Amino acid sequence: MAHEGRDTPTAGLGSDLAVAAGPMEVLLAWQTAGSAAGPEHRVSPRVAARILGSIPAGTRRAYTADWTRFTTWCAVAERRALPCTAETLAEFISAVADQGYAPASLGRMLAAIRSIHRLGGQPLPDNTAASAVIKCYRNERAAAGIANTHRRAVALSVRQLRQLVAACELPTLPDGPLRPPPAVARDRLVLVLGWAMMARRGELHALDLQDVSEVANGLEVLVRRSKTDQGAHGHLVAIPYGREALTCPVRLWRAWSDLLAGTGITTGALFRRVHRSGRIGDRLSDQGIYTIIRDVADRAGLGGSDIRPHSLRAGGATGAYLGGADAMLIGRHGRWRDGSRTVLGYIRDIDRWAHNPLHGAGL
């Protein structure tokens, strides 16, 4: 492969693209640059916002961080970021590999760079060489005794879920004041509904009160958009009653929605900030969801067990499989694609011991 000569940043775009710009800035800088694009190739900020709005918030955050890393490296290396060449891509991936990033992170960076090229209407850089770099890097790590698997969130068992729910009313600090009742009710519903829905953090954050309906058999929750439903067709999730009051989604939904109604809130965000005084505020951020789960895990004595928001999703899937549910039904309930490797991975983790082929070998 011919080595790419060092490029200076594109005139008129260098200051925008060689610094920590997010996808919105990249899209606008390229497609509104008069010297780089004719009027027929420009988009307005509103159109750019809608294009980027088609990407899940979590993916946007990750891609923004990855693009920032790439453009910063390009500025130092005096290479063009947009459009970049296959050689630049391979050099960048090798450079970040030398910093010790996991192979999966390199793959995500590669996807981010190509996606931003696609958003900006630019030709995609060939990723053959960069992919080869990642493959070789995997082998180097394996030879050095470094695992290539990334640390996964703990799948929260029903027993652990009950521990967390019980800990919601404990003070935030030892010997501190009791937590306000609205915070306790909200946190319990976040935990149990998240587990029962096998929800992504962003899905919980986006729920509105009108997305949840109580029906004869339990709750119906409308997920208006998910990672596997980018067209926002919607997915209706059925949540049956729980056997125990402490972890019954319906009872916890009633407790929280009644509290909201008592303050005049009957529409809008389902999960909201709760101030120390007990006053209920506006929509809870997805980072707020993370904080709730982390803090409750600490109060329950499970803070060192790598419990995080994805633990609810993984726990719901593994709990359902242990209860005898079919893998395909689990995948559809949790809004995974049919045949998802993630769901199959949860099942393999269980089957490794539950259906170990050596159980009857007579050792």
CATH number of the domain within which 285 lies: 1.10.443.10
- Same structural domain, 77 and 164: no
pLDDT at 231 over 70: no
Per the model's pLDDT, the better-predicted residue between 122 and 43 turns out to be 122
What does the pLDDT read at residue 304?
65
The listed range with the strongest mean pLDDT (30-39, 75-84, 152-161, 219-228) is: 75-84
Position of tokens 């909200």? Answer: 186
**Distance of alpha carbon 172 from alpha carbon 299, whole angstroms:** 7
pLDDT at 251 over 60: yes
What does the pLDDT read at residue 303?
72
Pick the range with the lowest mean pLDDT from 14-18, 90-94, 186-190.
14-18
Does 175 map to a domain?
Answer: yes
Q: Are 221 and 209 in contact (CB under 8 A)?
A: no
pLDDT digits (tens, 9 = 90+) for 99-129: 999 999 999 999 999 988 887 778 899 999 9
What does the pLDDT read at residue 27?
54
354 CB-side CA count, 13 A: 11
What does the pLDDT read at residue 35?
39
Does 153 map to a domain?
Answer: no
**Distance of alpha carbon 302 from alpha carbon 310, whole angstroms:** 15
Q: Are 212 and 219 in contact (CB under 8 A)?
A: yes
Phi and psi angles of residue 336, each rounded to the nearest 5 degrees, phi first:
-90, 160
Structural domain of 66: 14-143
Region 66-92 average pLDDT: 94
Task: State the burial class of residue 139 (Cβ atoms within 10 Å of its Cβ: 0-12, 13-18, 19+).
Answer: exposed
Does 218 map to a domain?
Answer: yes
- Same structural domain, 166 and 98: no
Global pTM reads 0.72
- Same structural domain, 225 and 315: yes
Does 361 map to a domain?
Answer: no
**Distance of alpha carbon 111 from alpha carbon 67, whole angstroms:** 10
pLDDT at 82 over 80: yes
What does the pLDDT read at residue 38?
59
The enclosing domain of 132 has a CATH number of: 1.10.150.130
Total domains present in the chain? 2
Does 134 map to a domain?
Answer: yes
- Same structural domain, 70 and 186: no
- Same structural domain, 135 and 191: no
- Same structural domain, 124 and 203: no
What does the pLDDT read at residue 353?
84
- Same structural domain, 123 and 243: no
- Same structural domain, 136 and 187: no
Other C-beta atoms within 10 Å of 66: how many?
A: 22
- Same structural domain, 180 and 286: yes
pLDDT at 324 over 50: yes
pLDDT band at 151 (very low <50, low <70, confident <90, very high): low
Q: Are strands 272-274 and 280-283 parallel, antiparallel or unpaired?
A: antiparallel
Task: Give strand ranges (E) for 58-111.
Answer: none
Does 317 map to a domain?
Answer: yes
Residue 229 has what DSSP assignment? Answer: B
- Same structural domain, 206 and 268: yes
What does the pLDDT read at residue 308?
87
Q: How far is CA 217 from CA 191, 224, 232, in A?
A: 20, 21, 26
Does 229 map to a domain?
Answer: yes
| Angle, CA of 298, 304 and 307, to the nearest 5° | 75
Length of the chain measured in residues: 363
pLDDT digits (tens, 9 = 90+) for 293-320: 999 999 998 876 688 889 999 999 999 9
- Same structural domain, 77 and 217: no
Q: What percent of the chain has pLDDT over 70?
A: 84
The domain boundary residue, chosen from 113, 143, 173? 143
Task: State the burial class of residue 233 (Cβ atoms within 10 Å of its Cβ: 0-12, 13-18, 19+).
Answer: exposed
The domain boundary residue, chosen from 109, 143, 177? 143
The three-state secondary structure class of 320 is helix
The domain boundary residue, chosen from 97, 116, 143? 143
Does 238 map to a domain?
Answer: yes
- Measure CA 360 to chain center: 41
- Same structural domain, 203 and 337: yes
Average per-residue pLDDT for the chain: 84
Cis bond upstream, residue 177 (ω within 30): no
pLDDT at 23 over 90: no
